Amino acid sequence: MPRVLVLMSETGGGHRASAEALQAAFAERYGPALQVQIVDPWSDHTPWPIHHLPRIYGPMVHYTPWLWKALWILGERNWIARPVLALMGLLTQRSLLRLYQAQAPDLVICVHPLVQHPALRALRRYDPRVPFLTVVTDLASVSATWFHAGVTCCLVPSVEAREKALALGLGPDQVALVGLPVRPAFARPLPDKARLRAERGLAPDRDTVLLMGGGEGVGPLAAIATALAERLSRDGRSAQMVVICGRNRRLRRRLLERAWPLPVHVLGFVEEMPGWMAAADVIVTKAGPGTIAEALICGLPLVLFSYIPGQEEGNVAYVTAQGVGVYLPEPEEVAAQVSHWLGPGRAQREAMAARARALGRPQATFQIVEQAANLLSSIPVSP
């Protein structure tokens, strides 16, 4: 049975979400004909102190965003990034070779830019015939570290990313524009909003605002939720809010203790994101690539309230330039915009929703696994 190894790293929630989306799509399309294993080589297969590196990412982005931005800019300079990545490759080669010997992969898929270089280097030493597929999981601001001319194939989610790949030396046949991997359920038609709301204990006829901050529930979600609830209630909107706190348990506890002037559903980490998004009319979120790709598929106009410096900045420009959302960093501004969209600005909101739906790529995940399977010509494809 062919074995596929999906390599990712736990920096933010998006890379794991992408890896799991691919694993689920492989299972749906090819069932037991294929074995797919997700591995975090940085955390689980590299020596001390390298295995601690992914843990630095969250606190660095939160407490010293300027430092993260500086590193991101350095990563754009090949003459700095390449030697650093080559050194990482040297330091991790032995552990990665052991990983490949244990897993004996027939195909390696990588969904993380900094894992890619060491993993590719070690794979070429393990067995140069094994195909290596990179799936870029950033949207518009795609770091130069994503692109390595030694990969078999590189799948990108946007025109901007494809142009950058070509500019950085990948061949036109090596790069394909597909989309971001999202849960397979995003590819299926869902029941109408009223039914989805009723199934989730929401009022079927109230406009629904979804508020979230990535897998970790980051950003000023409490302040935004408060400003939003007050404004919608003051403006007399028939609305309700769903706040998805992700893995941020403290935020969830805080919000659950509050009394709200309108119905507010506070949730922790939800697995069933397609249903919650499809039940909503508007999304308020940070500029995470995964969330944006999912919101587009569900036709949700976006209010972006923050972004990770460097890596998510281009996503803000992408959303605003495509006319599918706005960037507003202040809670009061977010509240005023959403209230406008649920009131006199309804037609503007509906036009944005239509543009978002047209831009979404619901089939991307299945297209990615099909391209991956093409690299493994021996897999029998189930009907």
**For ligand UDP, what does the binding mask look like between residues 35 and 74, x meaning CB under 6 A?**
----------------------------------------
The verdict on 12 binding ligand UDP (CB under 6 A) reads: yes
- Residue 344 in contact with residue 128, Cβ under 8 Å? no
Closest to ligand UDP by CB, 295 vs 375, is: 295
Q: How far is CA 55 from CA 36, 96, 218, in A?
A: 25, 19, 16
Residue 376 burial class via C-beta count within 10 angstroms: exposed 0-12, middle 13-18, buried 19 and up? middle
Q: How far apart are CA 133 and CA 218, in angstroms?
A: 31
Q: What sections of the chain are H helices per DSSP?
A: 14-30, 41-45, 53-63, 65-75, 78-103, 113-126, 159-167, 193-199, 221-234, 249-257, 273-278, 289-297, 313-321, 331-342, 346-359, 364-375
Closest-approach residue to ligand UDP (CB): 288
Rounded to whole angstroms, the Cα distance separating 376 from 345 reads 50
Name the minimum Å distance from CB 83 to ligand UDP.
28
Sole binder of ligand UDP in the list 14, 113, 301, 360 (CB under 6 A): 14
CB of 172 to ligand UDP, least distance (A): 27
**Phi, psi of 202, deg, nearest 5:** -100, 160
Alpha-carbon distance 201 to 237, whole Å?
19
- Nearest residue to 296 (alpha-carbon basis) of 325, 254, 271, 333: 325
Nearer to ligand UDP, 13 or 184 (CB): 13
How many residues touch ligand UDP (CB under 6 A)?
18
Residue 108 in contact with residue 131, Cβ under 8 Å?
Answer: yes
Q: Closer to ligand UDP at the Cβ: 3 or 247? A: 247
Q: Which of 105, 181, 184, 214 binds ligand UDP (CB under 6 A)?
A: 214
Cα(167)–Cα(333) distance, rounded to whole angstroms? Answer: 38
Among 105, 118, 179, 215, which residue sits at the site for ligand UDP (rule: CB under 6 A)? Answer: 215
> Least Å distance between CB 42 and ligand UDP?
16
**Which residue is associated with the tokens 């694993």?**
23
Q: Is 88 one of the binding residues for ligand UDP (CB under 6 A)?
A: no
What's the closest the beta carbon of residue 208 comes to ligand UDP, in angstroms?
Answer: 16
Kindly state whether residue 13 participates in binding ligand UDP, applying the rule CB under 6 A: yes
As a residue count, the chain comes to 383
User: Which of these segments, 34-42, 91-99, 213-221, 230-238, binds ligand UDP (CB under 6 A)?
Assistant: 213-221
Nearest residue (CB) to ligand UDP, 229 versus 295: 295
- Which segment (9-17, 317-325, 339-347, 359-367) binds ligand UDP by CB under 6 A? 9-17
Which residue in 281, 171, 172, 283 sits closest to 221, CA to CA? 283
Q: Which of residues 263-292 bind ligand UDP (CB under 6 A)?
A: 269-270, 273, 288-291
Cβ 13 to ligand UDP shortest distance, Å: 3
Q: Applying CB under 6 A, which residues contact ligand UDP?
A: 12-14, 17, 212, 214-216, 244, 246, 269-270, 273, 288-291, 294
